[in-house]
Amino acid sequence: MQTHEIRRRFLDHFVKAGHTEVPSASLILDDPNLLFVNAGMVQFVPFFLGQETPPYDAATSVQKCVRTLDIENVGITTRHNTFFQMAGNFSFGAYFKREAIRHAWSLLTSSVDDGGYGFDPERLWVTVYLDDDEARELWKEEAGIPDERIQSRGMADNYWSMGVPGPCGPCSEIYYDRGPEYGRAGGPEADEDRYLEIWNLVFMQNERGLGSGKDSFEILGPLPKKNIDTGMGVERVAFLLQGVDNVYETDLVRPVITRAEELSGRTYGTDHEADVRFRVIADHARTAVMLIADGVNPGNEGRGYVLRRLLRRIIRSAKLLGAEKPSMGEFVTVVSDTMSPSYPELATDFERILAVAVGEETAFLRTIAAGSKMFEAEAEQVKAAGKKVFGGNEAFVLHDTYGFPIDLTLEMAAEAGLDVDEDGFRSLMAEQRKRAKEDAQARKHAHADLKVYKEFVDRGPTEFTGFNELVSEAHVLALISNGVRVPTAKAGEDVEVILDRSPLYAEAGGQIADRGTITASGLRVQVNDVQKIAKKVWVHRVTVNEGQITEGDIVLAQVDPGWRRGATQGHSGTHMVHAALRQVLGPNAVQAGSLNKPGYLRFDFNWQGQLSESQKQEIEAVTNEAVAANHHVNTFVTDLTKAKQMGAIALFGENYGDEVRVVEIGGPFSMELCGGTHVQASAQIGPVTLLGESSVGSGVRRVEAFVGLDSYRYLAKERALLAGLASSLKVPSDEVPARVEALVERLRAAEKELEATKAAAVLASAGTYVDKAHRIGDVLLVAEQAPDGVAGNDLRGLVSDVRGRFGTQPAVVVLLGNADGKVPFVVATTKAAQDLGIKAGDLVSSFGPLIGGRGGGKADMAQGSGSDVSGIPAALNGVRGRVAELTGNS
């Protein structure tokens, strides 16, 4: 049975049983404890917590999930995926244990012809919580499972919670016996490889308190309602029904391995180490595509860092398998083809997903090239010192700082005839993971208590009147102070105000909240911020300036008109810049975030590489031409499918309802899904001036701009600056650029001349150093401090010149400098000195530690730098002592 069919049968089964089918939420939800959605129940948390009243009493979904805690183990075990689909059914007080057990058993064991999965009932085992005798009896009654196939397990295995204070309860798990060839007999307690968990039924009936771990928290008492939260692992059921050995060989994952075989020339199933790499590619490629589809971009922290690790592990694994050419595009294509029947957005958004993944591959291949050079330099130093082990610390720095994979370090070390201190590397990695885990745990906290808002969330959304008016009469529904409802608030107090209707825009979609006032007779309240609760209720954060506000008051809520005018200019300007970017750069320049406020906009977009000056000028020109055209701004509400068919652009990662608001500016020029406030015609935006363009992460660029009066003021300031320069240079304004360029060229020429004079003076001093040479045995040694400020090529050139003056004599030249608090040094030896066993690279170790430095090189020349100027005298003595030892004159 194909995976897409497994999904469909699950949903159909529960819809027929009276459940409402709910689409999968995005992998990115606004949850402080989660980087990614990792369970089917996450989008229903507000219902379980009692913060919102669900619109249905029973639901079913197939939720996209990502778990990356044990990313290093992917491919080693045969039953774990980083991306997986969790099919679930949920009851919000409608039914409990008996019905949950009945529904699960019916779907699993009914025949395929009757819409079930056709599992053999004799091969199914269940576990229950230690003292849950009720569940044990229900399994016997509803499913006919004998007592010997029902096992009781403790809190760590069969008691569920979110890991923080909130709902919890005992659970019951269903396992499938794969047979004696997969492990020991004796049920799940004996072997969880042979007995594979495929379904977990959580009887959510209690509330947990503080504590850590899976079994060290207090049960505070029962929840108001008994709920059901179950999850069936789609991938696990798929590999059982498809008769394959593991989750990597199912119909949606194996095609990626097949493509990797074609690209690498290797065969899956013939070598364990290679098989792990094949599985890593297959698993991570699917996860990466799904994350990019939901709006994640590669980066150096948070979600972006996880995605970057996944993509780089794919690239690394393909390289180690022998793939010679870039392969990311191939893997993305296969994943899109196999997964799009269930997730059509992968096909419609294919070009953007492909561009993000391939862009990261291109960047990482450059990283590998740079890392290889760093490795080679370090390996050369190891060998120059006569050692055979590449340090664990150096391997960790390559991995952690430069993103250079340890597998490549091991491979290259072997080619260079070196071992790697793997124990040291693993120890440092373990310390890093421990710190990361502790940091994540420190940030993890209970869900914010939003119960005080529940009444108003259930009442329905705040009526937003701000599209049509700036002043609205409203009723004060509630006042909230420090999470508690209060009847009144007096002058000088800060409080939250909930109104039945409001013209003030609540922050959303990159547009910051309106500022304004709430007034009545003898009352004046300053609105400082407006936020949404559950995307429905407007919460006005205010300061009472005059009088007293009381629950039940009739008031006037008013937007600051100047603020709103600037805010609409900024928001509409953002749409115009987005449209111009796509016109100039193409459809892959997709929005990755924005911020707009009065007079200013910031727009992030997916793009590889810095924009050229001509591109920036063209984007600004296209934007302002559209502004000057005075396009009408048209807004309308339609259903999501129709909006997308019309070409409206949606923000990736954003969850939209069935009905959406479309903002259209100039017909096809700009059409986006947007709930923000806008100008009525594009000319009202005023001039748009791009301030600059920069990088905010791999594959993400940012443009910033002023609009309206702020744009005018900026241009006026620039004009005044230009006029000042013209006056100082005594040329017309249009000649300033050429005159400045000429001055810069003259300055550069003068600097070069100065450098040449300085270098000549340095070289001229070579003779004085030759005169300072003293003989140690048969060797002439120059060990001196160079003039302050001499460094780099000048110091190297001076040392070479001094060495050259000794001709065929055995000679060693060591000069240490003092440049900006650093101690650059160069060591050179003549051929005759090398024949006596004196090598420049070896001499560094005799004085490097004394100046807090390190360096390396070859037998004839070595160089490096230190950080301790005070150690120069001791370092020079160290060189003299070492040369004496080597010549037998110590």
Please give the radius of gyration of the chain, using alpha carbons only, rounded to the nearest integer: 35
What type of residue is 875?
Answer: A
Q: Is 117 helix (H, G, I), strand (E, B) or coil?
A: coil
Question: What is the 3-class SS of 351-402, one letter each residue?
Answer: HHHHHHHHHHHHHHHHHHHHHHHHHHHHHHHHHHCCCCEECHHHHHHHHHHH
CA distance 747 to 389: 50
Please answer whether residues 258 and 267 qualify as being in contact, where contact means their C-beta atoms are separated by less than 8 angstroms: no
What is the average per-residue pLDDT within 788-793? 75
Q: Is 176 helix (H, G, I), strand (E, B) or coil?
A: strand
Residue 664, strand partner residues: 634, 671
pLDDT of amino acid 651: 73
With the C-alpha atoms ordered 845, 848, 849, 850, is the resulting torsion angle positive or negative?
A: positive
Query: 260-269, 338-347, 391-400: lowest mean pLDDT where?
Result: 391-400
Exposed e or buried b per residue across 865-886, where buried means at least 16 C-beta atoms within 10 angstroms of its C-beta:
bbebbebbeebbebbbebbeeb
Higher pLDDT, 816 or 534: 816
The residue among 122, 180, 182 whose CA lies nearest residue 149 is 122
CA distance 420 to 405: 13
Query: 355-359, 446-450, 451-455, 711-715: lowest mean pLDDT where?
Result: 446-450
Query: Which tokens sit at 648?
Result: 């409206």
Q: What angle (nearest 5°) sits at the alpha carbon of residue 361, between those of residues 357 and 366?
A: 150
Q: How far is CA 720 from the centre of its chain?
A: 43
pLDDT of amino acid 437: 58
pLDDT of amino acid 760: 66
Residues sharing a CB contact under 8 Å with residue 518, sequence separation 6 or more, in sequence order: 497, 499, 524, 525, 527, 540, 542, 549, 555, 556, 557, 558
pLDDT of amino acid 70: 67
The correct CATH number of 765-887 out of 3.30.70.20, 3.40.50.300, 3.30.210.10, 3.10.310.40 is 3.10.310.40
Judged against a pLDDT cut of 90, whether residue 751 lies above it is answered with: no
Distances (CA, A) of 230 to 140, 144, 174, 661, 843: 19, 20, 11, 35, 69
Q: What is the DSSP string of 842-884?
A: HHHHHHGGGGT-EEEE-SSEEEEEES-GGGHHHHHHHHHHHHH
Judged against a pLDDT cut of 80, whether residue 340 lies above it is answered with: yes
Question: What is the 3-class SS of 314-349, one letter each residue?
Answer: HHHHHHHHCCCCCCHHHHHHHHHHHHCCCCCHHHHC
The DSSP H or E segment spanning 232 is: strand 216-233
Judged against a pLDDT cut of 50, whether residue 820 lies above it is answered with: yes
Query: Which tokens sit at 136?
Result: 């044990």
Query: Which tokens sit at 131?
Result: 């003292």
Question: What is the 3-class SS of 41-89, one letter each residue?
Answer: CHHHHHHHCCCCCCCCCEEEEEEEEECCCCHHHCCCCCCCCCEEEEEEE
Judged against a pLDDT cut of 70, whether residue 594 lies above it is answered with: yes
Judged against a pLDDT cut of 90, whether residue 229 lies above it is answered with: yes
Question: What is the per-residue pLDDT across 81-130, written as a single tens digit (0 to 9) for each?
Answer: 899 999 999 999 999 999 999 999 999 999 999 999 999 999 999 999 99
CA distance 887 to 890: 8
CA distance 367 to 698: 12
pLDDT of amino acid 698: 63
CA distance 256 to 325: 16
pLDDT band of residue 443 (cuts 50, 70, 90) is: very low
Alpha helices in 70-183 (DSSP H): 97-109, 133-138, 155-158
The residue among 598, 599, 605 whose CA lies nearest residue 577 is 605
- 523-533 and 537-546 beta bridge pairing: antiparallel
In the chain, what percentage of residues exceed pLDDT 70? 94
pLDDT band of residue 761 (cuts 50, 70, 90) is: low
Distances (CA, A) of 244 to 77, 178, 261, 839: 15, 11, 18, 62
Please answer whether residues 836 and 886 qualify as being in contact, where contact means their C-beta atoms are separated by less than 8 angstroms: yes
How far separated are the first and last CA of the chain, in Å rounded? 83
pLDDT of amino acid 32: 61
Most trustworthy range by pLDDT among 291-295, 352-356, 439-443, 571-575: 571-575
- 484-486 and 600-606 beta bridge pairing: unpaired
What is the average per-residue pLDDT within 726-734? 82
The correct CATH number of 3-249 out of 3.30.930.10, 3.20.20.70, 1.10.10.60, 3.30.420.10 is 3.30.930.10
The answer to the question of whether 571 is labelled as a binding residue is yes
pLDDT band of residue 444 (cuts 50, 70, 90) is: very low
pLDDT of amino acid 626: 95
Question: What is the per-residue pLDDT across 494-503, written as a single tens digit (0 to 9) for each?
Answer: 999 999 999 9
Distances (CA, A) of 811 to 237, 736, 792: 77, 57, 22
Question: What is the per-residue pLDDT across 685-713, written as a single tens digit (0 to 9) for each?
Answer: 999 999 989 887 667 889 999 999 999 99
Query: 122-126, 209-213, 243-247: lowest mean pLDDT where?
Result: 209-213
Question: What is the per-residue pLDDT across 533-583, written as a single tens digit (0 to 9) for each?
Answer: 888 899 999 999 999 999 999 999 999 999 999 999 999 999 999 999 999
With the C-alpha atoms ordered 775, 780, 783, 788, is the resulting torsion angle positive or negative?
A: positive
Judged against a pLDDT cut of 90, whether residue 305 lies above it is answered with: no
The answer to the question of whether 674 is labelled as a binding residue is yes
Report the interhelical angle of 422-443 vs 392-402 (nearest 10°).
Answer: 40
CA distance 95 to 227: 7
Q: Can you give the residue ranges of every domain in the chain?
A: 3-249, 254-443, 451-559, 564-716, 765-887
Judged against a pLDDT cut of 70, whether residue 440 lies above it is answered with: no
pLDDT of amino acid 449: 62
CATH of domain 564-716: 3.30.980.10
pLDDT of amino acid 445: 44
Higher pLDDT, 149 or 791: 149
Residue entry with tokens 């490629």: 285
The residue among 39, 35, 37 whose CA lies nearest residue 444 is 35
Higher pLDDT, 41 or 290: 290
The residue among 670, 645, 678, 682 whose CA lies nearest residue 660 is 645
Exposed e or buried b per residue across 339-354, where buried means at least 16 C-beta atoms within 10 angstroms of its C-beta:
beebbebbeebbebbb
The answer to the question of whether 575 is labelled as a binding residue is yes
Residues sharing a CB contact under 8 Å with residue 664, sequence separation 6 or more, in sequence order: 633, 634, 635, 636, 670, 671
Mean pLDDT estimate for the chain: 88
Question: What is the per-residue pLDDT across 462-506, written as a single tens digit (0 to 9) for each?
Answer: 999 999 999 999 999 999 998 899 999 999 999 999 999 999 999
CA distance 683 to 628: 5
Residue entry with tokens 């107090």: 493
pLDDT of amino acid 442: 47
State in words which class domain 451-559 has.
mainly beta
Judged against a pLDDT cut of 80, whether residue 257 lies above it is answered with: yes
What is the average per-residue pLDDT within 439-459? 66
pLDDT band of residue 668 (cuts 50, 70, 90) is: confident
DSSP state of 511: B
